Amino acid sequence: MPDVPQFLQTHGLRVVEVTGKKAIGFVDAITLIGKEDGIKGYWKRNLPQVIRIIPYSAVQLFSYEVCKKLLRRNDGELSVVGRLVAGVCAGMTSTLVSFYKQSIHVLVCLYVSFLVAVCDQVPRLI
């Protein structure tokens, strides 16, 4: 369902023209996606999201396990504070490792948006 927020932001004017409503809600957005794209519309662009999340989650889980091993007491138990610290360290590690990838993703999205905007203007110039 990654398209619902984008749909809510970009399809407001079209919905006003068609339905006469001033705003579009979550249920309306889901209904319109189903009508326009069918079942595939709900899963559109889901694979890139999954590909983006897998490395982040893998680093987070690995670093959480490493931190848990480092923070265990002599009796092998891990306190609540130790689990909290291990989780914080895991989140920071995975964010630092995957930050560059997310920055590249944002730059690519901006570049593609720019190209689409330029290509939309070319027929008007001709």
For residue 102 the two structure tokens come to: 């997310």
Cα separations in angstroms, 50 against 56, 57, 81? 10, 10, 31
What is the DSSP code (8-state) at residue 73?
-
Give the position of tokens 């993703």. Answer: 105
Spell out the per-residue pLDDT of the chain, length 126, in tens. Answer: 555 666 555 555 555 565 566 666 778 777 877 888 888 877 777 777 788 788 889 999 999 999 999 999 888 888 899 999 999 999 999 888 877 766 777 777 777 777 777 777 666 666
Helix, strand or coil for residue 96? helix
Structure tokens at 115: 């190209």
Alpha helix (H) residue ranges in 20-79: 26-37, 40-43, 46-71
Q: Which of 15, 43, 45, 40 is nearest to 27 (CA)?
A: 15
Sole residue written with tokens 């670093």? 63
